Amino acid sequence: MKKRTLAIPLTLVALVLGFLLTLQMQTQKSVLELEKIQAQRAASARDFLAEAQEENKLLKEQHTALTAQLEEARTQGGTSPALLAELDRYRMMEGTVNVQGPGIVITIDDRQQEHKVVLPMSNEDLLEIINTLKFAGAEAISVNGQRVVASSAIVLSGTSTKLINQVPITRTEGVPYEILAIGNQDQLLDYFTQLKAQRLKQLGMSVSVSRKTVQIPSYKGVSPVKSPES
């Protein structure tokens, strides 16, 4: 009887130890997976920044060359329509002009809804959305009215205010976002839906996307390239 009586507590202890060991292993696995995801996000943000800097450098070089061609054409008494069209294209890419065209409207709401726990939009999530739209061929992008150009910075001021081009687009955690993109509507919608929308919904955010003719304002910050006068 004593051996049998002792066997029960020992079995319980073994079960508890086994449970704790399994829990510890699962927790460690979750931590490693989280660290891996965070490392991937950081790498994605660095890649986006490097790509934006390289794009900005290329645009400046192309803009300088195009401006020189435009001035030469003017001194010779005429301006090629093709040259003007090319200049307009670079101005649109630089963000120095308002643009309108077919595109998509993305609405994301990360406010709490019906007492549900919603993870707020992170800077990395916002960068990934912009990166995804650029990969999908977006010709112009804005977030909450701020034009996103190669020199745009998306940073967190304090604990809850996001800045784009040094302008607040949010002032509290959990706000609606309106992201506009001009380009091939089917391609933009497909890339965003397949690569980002599902994950945002899993985090509890409300996400909608629709095809529309959209208007995107010009970049209002200090441009690294001065556009020539028309």
Which domains are delineated in the chain? 99-221 (3.30.70.1880)
Helix ranges, the chain (H): 2-75, 81-94, 123-135, 185-192, 198-202
Closest listed residue to residue 45, CA positions, set 162, 128, 120: 128
Percent of the chain with pLDDT over 90: 29
**Mean pLDDT confidence for 39-53:** 62
What confidence score (pLDDT) does residue 118 get?
76
Q: Does the structure show a pLDDT above 90 at 190?
A: yes
What confidence score (pLDDT) does residue 105 get?
97
Q: What is the pLDDT of residues 53-85, one digit of tens each?
A: 676 667 667 667 766 766 666 565 556 677 666
What confidence score (pLDDT) does residue 15 get?
62
Q: Rounded to the nearest 10 degrees, what angle do helices 123-135 and 185-192 cross at? A: 140
Tell me if 145 sits within 8 A of 219, measured CB to CB.
no
Question: Nearest 5°: CA angle at 134, between 183 and 190?
Answer: 65
| Phi-psi map region of 192: left, alpha, beta (phi>0 left; psi -120 to 50 alpha) | alpha
Q: What is the pLDDT of residues 81-106, one digit of tens each?
A: 776 666 666 666 667 788 999 999 99
Query: What gap in Å lies between CA 193 and CA 211, rounded to an integer?
Result: 12
The sign of the CA dihedral 56, 62, 68, 73 is: negative
Query: How many other β-carbons are positioned within 10 Å of the β-carbon of residue 64?
Result: 11
